[in-house]
């Protein structure tokens, strides 16, 4: 049980760190390039702050790589200390594993895209980069959000029904499920979605899981 508390805390810390790094990059002043519609003005913004642009891509890449690590760790430690015998996964673990797979696949697409943005900002500004990797990344991220939310909800219900475990907060689960639905609708309707919205959700989720793991560790309760 103590092992699972540590596993949950490590996973949540990675989710928080990854989300925080991504958001730190997303809120840099050079981000105004993303809302500028004129390609030449986009290019002027990037040429005026090349160092900031490169730093932003590095922060975004670090966050993109770290968040899936947290989700993978969460899925891995999902049933540790659950008290079940055999190899049957604990409630929601398959969904958590699916979420981890989606996040890892999506991050691979986006990391390649960020590498190209770092190497050739002019192509990005002038719209000469293919949009497929970004669209794939967003679709997989939203699938990961939905699966993670479903897994967290299943685990919360299982804990509540067991009577032996403290109840899990359900709002992070609903935040992921609801956020994935709303964001998917926006992406389909407009063809675009700021990735930072996804990382705000995962920052909140990671913080909630970290708080829960620490509280149970302090109380000596099973997680």
User: Which pLDDT value is given to residue 169?
Assistant: 84
pLDDT at 8: 79
Both tokens of 197, joined, read: 């919205």
Percent of the chain scored above 70 by pLDDT? Answer: 86
Average pLDDT score, the chain = 88
pLDDT at 80: 44
If pLDDT is split at 50, 70 and 90, which confidence band does 88 have? very low
- Domain locations in the chain as residue ranges: 2-219
The confidence score (pLDDT) of residue 218 equals 53
Average pLDDT, integer, range 47-59: 97
Provide the pLDDT for residue 162.
Answer: 64
Rg (CA), the chain: 19
DSSP string, the chain: -HHHHHHHHHHHHHHHHHHHHHHHHHTSGGGGGGT---HHHHHHHHHH-HHHHHHHHHHHHHHHHHHHHHHHHHHHTTTTT----TTPPPTTHHHHHHHHHHHHHHHHHHHHHHHHHHH-HHHHHTT-S-SHHHHHHHHHHHHHHHHHHHHHHHHHHHHHHHSSSPPPPSHHHHHHHHHHHHHHHHHHHHS---THHHHHHHHHHHHHHHHHHHHHHHHT---
Please give the residue that has the higher pLDDT: either 10 or 3.
Answer: 10
pLDDT class of 223 with cuts at 50, 70, 90: very low
For residue 87, what pLDDT is reported? 39
Give how far Cα 153 sits from Cα of 29, 75, 89, 92, Å. 37, 14, 15, 8
Q: Indicate the pLDDT class of residue 79, thresholds 50, 70 and 90.
A: low
Q: Are 187 and 139 a contacting pair, CB within 8 Å?
A: yes
User: What is the model's pLDDT at position 77?
Assistant: 84
CA atoms within 13 A on the CB side of 152: 29
pLDDT confidence band for 7 (50 / 70 / 90): low
Q: What is the pLDDT of residue 213?
A: 82
Per the model's pLDDT, the better-predicted residue between 137 and 166 turns out to be 137
Comparing 4-8, 29-33, 62-66, 71-75, the range with the smallest average pLDDT is: 4-8
pLDDT-based confidence at residue 166 (cuts at 50, 70, 90): low
Least confident of 101-105, 112-116, 128-132, 157-161: 157-161
């Amino acid at each position: 049980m103590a092992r699972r508390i540590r596993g949950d805390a490590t996973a949540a810390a990675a989710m928080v760190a990854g989300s925080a790094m991504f958001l730190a990059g997303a809120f840099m002043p050079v981000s105004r390039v993303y809302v500028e519609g004129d390609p030449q003005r986009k290019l002027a913004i990037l040429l005026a702050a090349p160092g900031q642009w490169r730093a932003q891509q590095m922060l975004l890449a670090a966050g993109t790589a770290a968040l899936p690590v947290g989700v993978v760790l969460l899925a891995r430690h999902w049933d540790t200390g659950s008290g079940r015998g055999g190899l049957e996964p604990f409630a929601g673990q398959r969904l958590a594993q699916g979420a981890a797979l989606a996040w890892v696949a999506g991050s691979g697409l986006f990391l390649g895209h960020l590498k190209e943005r770092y190497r050739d900002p002019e192509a990005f500004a002038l719209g000469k980069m293919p949009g497929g990797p970004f669209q794939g990344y967003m679709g997989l991220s939203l699938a990961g959000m939905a699966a993670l939310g479903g897994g967290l909800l299943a685990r919360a219900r299982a804990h509540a029904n067991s009577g032996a475990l403290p109840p899990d907060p359900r709002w992070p689960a609903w935040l992921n499920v609801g956020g994935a639905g709303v964001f998917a609708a926006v992406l389909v309707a407009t063809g675009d979605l700021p990735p930072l919205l996804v990382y705000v959700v995962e920052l909140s989720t990671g913080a909630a899981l970290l708080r829960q793991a620490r509280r149970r560790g302090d109380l000596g309760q099973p997680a």
